[in-house]
Amino acid sequence: MIRVRFHGRGGQGIKTASQILGNAAFLSGFQAQDFPLYGAERRGAPIVAFTRFSPDPILERGPVFLPDLLLVGDASLLNDSQAAPLCGADESTLIFVNSPQDRDTLENQYSFPSTPIIDDLTGRCLKHIKREHIFSTALAAAGARILGTIELSHLNQAVEMELASELDASTLQSNLALVEEIFRSVSPRPLVERAAQTLKPTSLIQVQQGQVSEAAPIILAPGNMALRKTGKWRVVRPKIDYEHCNKCLICYARCPDGTIGIDADGSPQIDYDHCKGCMICAQECPGHFIQTIRESEVVDESS
């Protein structure tokens, strides 16, 4: 059995990537299983998805804790202790990271249990589909190519099955061109065969009836939203051009999360700890004085 785990952010197509890979594996003659795991998170929040496929019936259920292949769609998650994308990976795990940085730079920043495979899928997506933050097709293609068990024709068929009803013909062809480029540039890697995992039955757990207030998702601590620094969810961030900003404050009024404040001289100031990078402020700025800056793994807020 091959166990694959995907890490990314809401809106990046991580769930769709797992579905494409699962469909491609099924078309290649495998039994397949794919599913995401996330709650009520908004765009930009860390999410995870899983794909299993095997020539035999799949009896496992639940999350993949020990992946054979780990696909990280957003390298900034490597800094996120809550997302913890490397959790469960060992020296046998094939690790792929979408990043414009070279492998030596990433290995100096993070402790990988095995040598990672690095490719700038964001740049490839921008080139082919003009969307730098949607990795569904690209990440599925990278996974299929690294494993070397899925033919390009089956992957293309899976992409069409998943996306044909959502995309026009031209955009679909652009996605297929993206898949072909990734198949040319990424090389298959040998997969270490793991020992079969024995499933052991457990005793029935008796759940005691408690008070509704103890089981309900009730947050009793007041005013604690500011403690969750959602700025880590960003893929891109806004940067105000203060040389041309006329302090109209439309960005302040339009920000859906209230992360733009006003300083002492009346200029808008962005709270990067909580800005999710939705870029509504840039769209609403009448003079187009707010730039869109792509995030890197290490953010310098002064730039």
pLDDT in tens, 100-116: 988 999 999 899 999 99
pLDDT at residue 219 in the model = 64
pLDDT on residue 302:
42
Please give the pLDDT value at position 72. Answer: 95
Alpha-helical (H) ranges within 8-67 are: 14-27
Query: If you search the block for the tokens 């052991």, which residue do you land on?
Result: 200
State yes or no: pLDDT of 209 exceeds 90. Answer: no
Residue 230 in this model has a pLDDT that exceeds 70? yes
Q: Which residue has the higher pLDDT, 91 or 197?
A: 91
pLDDT tens digits along 149-196: 999 999 999 999 999 988 899 999 999 999 999 999 999 998 887 766
Mean per-residue pLDDT, 82-97 = 92
Q: What is the pLDDT of residue 205?
A: 75
Is the per-residue pLDDT at 214 higher than 70?
no
Integer Cα distance of 139 and 51 in angstroms: 12
Query: Per-residue pLDDT for 303 more than 60?
Result: no
Q: Give the pLDDT score at 297.
A: 47
CATH of the structural domain 229-294, one choice from 3.30.70.20, 3.30.230.10, 3.30.565.60, 3.40.718.10: 3.30.70.20
What's the pLDDT score for residue 212? 66
Average pLDDT score over the chain: 87
Beta strands in the chain (DSSP E): 2-9, 31-37, 46-54, 69-72, 94-98, 117-119, 236-240, 260-262, 268-270, 290-294
In sequence order, the 6+-apart residues with CB closer than 8 A to the CB of 213 are none
Tell me which H or E stretch contains 177: helix 169-185
Rg (CA), the chain: 22
pLDDT over 90 for what percent of the chain?
A: 59
89, 73 Cβ separation under 8 angstroms: no
Average pLDDT for 35-44: 76
pLDDT confidence band for 301 (50 / 70 / 90): very low
Domain-by-domain residue ranges, the chain? 2-185, 229-294
48 three-class SS: strand
- Which is more confidently placed, 210 or 175? 175
Average pLDDT over residues 212-226: 67
Domains 2-185 and 229-294 belong to one CATH topology? no
Using pLDDT thresholds of 50, 70 and 90, give the confidence band for residue 215.
low
Mean pLDDT to the nearest integer, 95-103 = 92
One CATH from 3.30.70.141, 3.40.920.10, 3.40.50.150, 3.30.70.980 for 2-185 = 3.40.920.10
pLDDT at 300: 43
In eight-state DSSP terms, residue 250 is: H
CB atoms within 10 A of CB 80: 15
| Whole-number Å distance between alpha carbons of 297 and 235 | 10
The Cα 230–Cα 215 span in angstroms is 26
Residues in the chain: 303
